[in-house]
A = this chain, B = another copy of it.
Amino acid sequence: MAESTVTAPRKSQLPEPLWRHLLGDNLRRLRHERGETLGETATRAGVSPQYLSEMERGRKEPSSEMIAAVAGALDTTLVDLTLDIAERLITTRKTASVRLSANQSNFALAA
């Protein structure tokens, strides 16, 4: 497996990333969209830049209060954050399914 951070859910055949990685990616993207440094966002959220950096890289498992604080500092809410993460998960799943179907078609053609 290419990534060491994925889990294998029972229902889907496709590997899924972990919650903290999805959350971290999303927080980093939002911060970049605002053109802010780690320090700027972290100060408003009341956390250290080191902590925010670890959150963004999925190294820290943040508490729900911390998620709310950073979301607030980025002018977003839990609902928008959760929706965004869900949408990205669906896109990832679709892309992987298309890739899987394409591989199966190639296999059928080759057989």
Asked if A9 and B72 sit within 8 Å, CB to CB, the answer is yes
User: For chain A residues 64-96, which have a beta carbon within 8 Å of chain B?
Assistant: 64-65, 67-69, 71-72, 75-80, 82-83, 85-86, 89-90, 93
Once the chains are docked, how many angstroms separate the CA of A13 from the CA of B89?
28
User: For chain A residues 17-70, which have a beta carbon within 8 Å of chain B?
Assistant: 17-22, 61, 63-65, 67-69
Shortest C-beta distance, A79 to chain B (Å), equals 4
Contacts of A75 in B (CB 8 A): 10-11
Say whether, besides A16-B79, A75-B10, A75-B11, A63 and B61 are in contact (CB < 8 Å).
yes
Once the chains are docked, how many angstroms separate the CA of A12 from the CA of B71?
11
Q: Which of chain B's residues has its CB closest to A75's CB?
A: B11
Once the chains are docked, how many angstroms separate the CA of A21 from the CA of B63?
12
Once the chains are docked, how many angstroms separate the CA of A82 from the CA of B17?
12
A7 at the B interface (CB under 8 A): yes
Q: Which of chain B's residues has its CB closest to A7's CB?
A: B68
For the complex of A and B, list the 5 residue pairs with the smallest distance between their C-beta atoms, beginning with the closest: A18-B64, A79-B89, A7-B68, A19-B64, A82-B86
